[in-house]
Amino acid sequence: MEINSSDLFFTCSLIEYIGREKKLKRSAVVDKITKEKLAHIYKKADILHCEPISKTADVFAELCNITDGSYDNVADCKYNVPDYWDIGKVYARLIADVCDDDIIETLVNVYHSVFSDAISNYNSDFYYQSRDYIKECYKAGEIL
Protein backbone atom coordinates (compact mmCIF):
# COMPACT_ATOMS: atom_id res chain seq x y z
CA MET A 1 0.00 0.00 0.00
CA GLU A 2 1.41 3.37 -1.02
CA ILE A 3 1.70 5.91 1.78
CA ASN A 4 -0.63 8.86 1.53
CA SER A 5 0.75 11.45 3.96
CA SER A 6 -2.51 13.41 4.26
CA ASP A 7 -4.55 10.30 5.01
CA LEU A 8 -1.99 9.07 7.53
CA PHE A 9 -1.95 12.49 9.19
CA PHE A 10 -5.73 12.46 9.55
CA THR A 11 -5.76 8.89 10.88
CA CYS A 12 -3.13 9.67 13.52
CA SER A 13 -4.82 12.93 14.50
CA LEU A 14 -8.13 11.08 14.92
CA ILE A 15 -6.44 8.52 17.19
CA GLU A 16 -4.98 11.36 19.23
CA TYR A 17 -8.34 13.13 19.43
CA ILE A 18 -10.17 9.99 20.58
CA GLY A 19 -7.40 9.24 23.11
CA ARG A 20 -7.76 12.68 24.65
CA GLU A 21 -11.55 12.60 24.69
CA LYS A 22 -11.75 9.10 26.15
CA LYS A 23 -8.66 9.46 28.38
CA LEU A 24 -6.93 6.39 26.97
CA LYS A 25 -3.39 5.57 25.99
CA ARG A 26 -3.14 5.84 22.25
CA SER A 27 -2.22 2.15 21.97
CA ALA A 28 -5.55 1.30 23.65
CA VAL A 29 -7.40 3.44 21.10
CA VAL A 30 -5.61 1.63 18.26
CA ASP A 31 -6.54 -1.74 19.77
CA LYS A 32 -10.19 -0.77 20.19
CA ILE A 33 -10.47 0.54 16.64
CA THR A 34 -8.83 -2.63 15.20
CA LYS A 35 -6.60 -2.97 12.15
CA GLU A 36 -9.57 -3.47 9.86
CA LYS A 37 -11.25 -0.22 10.87
CA LEU A 38 -7.92 1.65 10.92
CA ALA A 39 -7.43 0.58 7.30
CA HIS A 40 -10.92 1.88 6.53
CA ILE A 41 -10.21 5.22 8.21
CA TYR A 42 -6.93 5.52 6.34
CA LYS A 43 -8.50 4.68 2.97
CA LYS A 44 -11.48 7.00 3.50
CA ALA A 45 -9.65 9.84 5.26
CA ASP A 46 -10.16 12.17 2.31
CA ILE A 47 -13.93 11.86 2.87
CA LEU A 48 -13.90 11.57 6.68
CA HIS A 49 -11.94 14.79 7.11
CA CYS A 50 -14.83 16.75 5.57
CA GLU A 51 -16.75 16.36 8.83
CA PRO A 52 -15.63 17.96 12.10
CA ILE A 53 -13.10 15.65 13.73
CA SER A 54 -15.20 15.61 16.90
CA LYS A 55 -18.11 14.07 14.97
CA THR A 56 -15.90 11.49 13.28
CA ALA A 57 -14.34 10.65 16.64
CA ASP A 58 -17.78 10.17 18.20
CA VAL A 59 -18.85 7.87 15.36
CA PHE A 60 -15.80 5.63 15.69
CA ALA A 61 -15.84 5.68 19.49
CA GLU A 62 -19.41 4.42 19.41
CA LEU A 63 -18.82 1.96 16.56
CA CYS A 64 -15.78 0.48 18.32
CA ASN A 65 -17.28 0.63 21.80
CA ILE A 66 -14.51 2.87 23.12
CA THR A 67 -15.29 3.76 26.72
CA ASP A 68 -13.68 6.26 29.05
CA GLY A 69 -10.46 5.46 30.82
CA SER A 70 -8.29 7.31 33.32
CA TYR A 71 -5.17 8.17 31.29
CA ASP A 72 -5.12 11.97 31.16
CA ASN A 73 -1.83 13.20 29.76
CA VAL A 74 -3.46 16.54 28.94
CA ALA A 75 -4.30 17.25 32.59
CA ASP A 76 -0.84 16.04 33.62
CA CYS A 77 0.85 18.54 31.31
CA LYS A 78 2.57 21.37 33.19
CA TYR A 79 3.21 23.46 30.09
CA ASN A 80 1.42 24.24 26.85
CA VAL A 81 -0.53 21.25 25.59
CA PRO A 82 0.26 20.53 21.94
CA ASP A 83 -2.69 20.42 19.58
CA TYR A 84 -3.98 16.99 18.53
CA TRP A 85 -3.10 17.92 14.93
CA ASP A 86 0.51 18.57 15.99
CA ILE A 87 0.78 15.21 17.70
CA GLY A 88 -0.92 13.52 14.76
CA LYS A 89 1.78 15.00 12.55
CA VAL A 90 4.56 13.59 14.76
CA TYR A 91 3.06 10.10 14.61
CA ALA A 92 2.37 10.30 10.87
CA ARG A 93 5.92 11.33 10.08
CA LEU A 94 7.41 8.59 12.23
CA ILE A 95 5.15 5.94 10.71
CA ALA A 96 5.93 7.09 7.17
CA ASP A 97 9.67 7.21 7.94
CA VAL A 98 9.89 3.66 9.31
CA CYS A 99 7.30 1.89 7.14
CA ASP A 100 8.74 -0.80 4.90
CA ASP A 101 5.56 -2.34 3.54
CA ASP A 102 2.28 -2.38 5.48
CA ILE A 103 1.26 1.07 6.69
CA ILE A 104 -1.41 -0.19 9.10
CA GLU A 105 0.91 -2.78 10.66
CA THR A 106 3.57 -0.10 11.05
CA LEU A 107 1.01 2.24 12.63
CA VAL A 108 0.05 -0.43 15.17
CA ASN A 109 3.71 -1.16 15.94
CA VAL A 110 4.54 2.52 16.47
CA TYR A 111 1.57 3.06 18.78
CA HIS A 112 2.59 -0.02 20.79
CA SER A 113 6.21 1.06 21.15
CA VAL A 114 7.82 2.95 24.02
CA PHE A 115 7.97 5.90 21.65
CA SER A 116 4.22 6.33 21.86
CA ASP A 117 4.56 6.97 25.60
CA ALA A 118 7.42 9.39 24.89
CA ILE A 119 5.36 11.30 22.32
CA SER A 120 2.39 11.41 24.73
CA ASN A 121 4.52 12.82 27.55
CA TYR A 122 3.90 16.52 26.97
CA ASN A 123 6.21 17.40 29.88
CA SER A 124 9.18 16.08 27.91
CA ASP A 125 10.74 17.51 24.81
CA PHE A 126 10.58 14.31 22.76
CA TYR A 127 7.48 15.10 20.70
CA TYR A 128 8.96 18.30 19.31
CA GLN A 129 12.37 16.89 18.44
CA SER A 130 13.33 16.80 14.77
CA ARG A 131 11.79 14.24 12.48
CA ASP A 132 15.19 12.66 11.81
CA TYR A 133 15.99 12.38 15.52
CA ILE A 134 12.70 10.63 16.32
CA LYS A 135 13.17 8.27 13.36
CA GLU A 136 16.72 7.39 14.42
CA CYS A 137 15.60 6.78 18.00
CA TYR A 138 12.87 4.45 16.77
CA LYS A 139 15.28 2.54 14.56
CA ALA A 140 17.78 2.27 17.42
CA GLY A 141 15.02 1.10 19.76
CA GLU A 142 15.77 3.72 22.39
CA ILE A 143 15.72 7.43 23.01
CA LEU A 144 19.22 8.60 22.22
Domain boundaries, the chain: 5-136
Other C-beta atoms closer than 10 Å to the C-beta of 40 total: 16
List the pLDDT tens digit at each of the 144 positions of the chain.
579 999 999 999 999 999 999 999 999 999 999 999 999 999 999 999 999 999 999 999 999 999 999 999 999 999 899 999 999 999 999 999 999 999 999 999 999 999 999 999 999 999 999 999 999 999 999 887
pLDDT at site 1: 55
pLDDT at site 143: 86
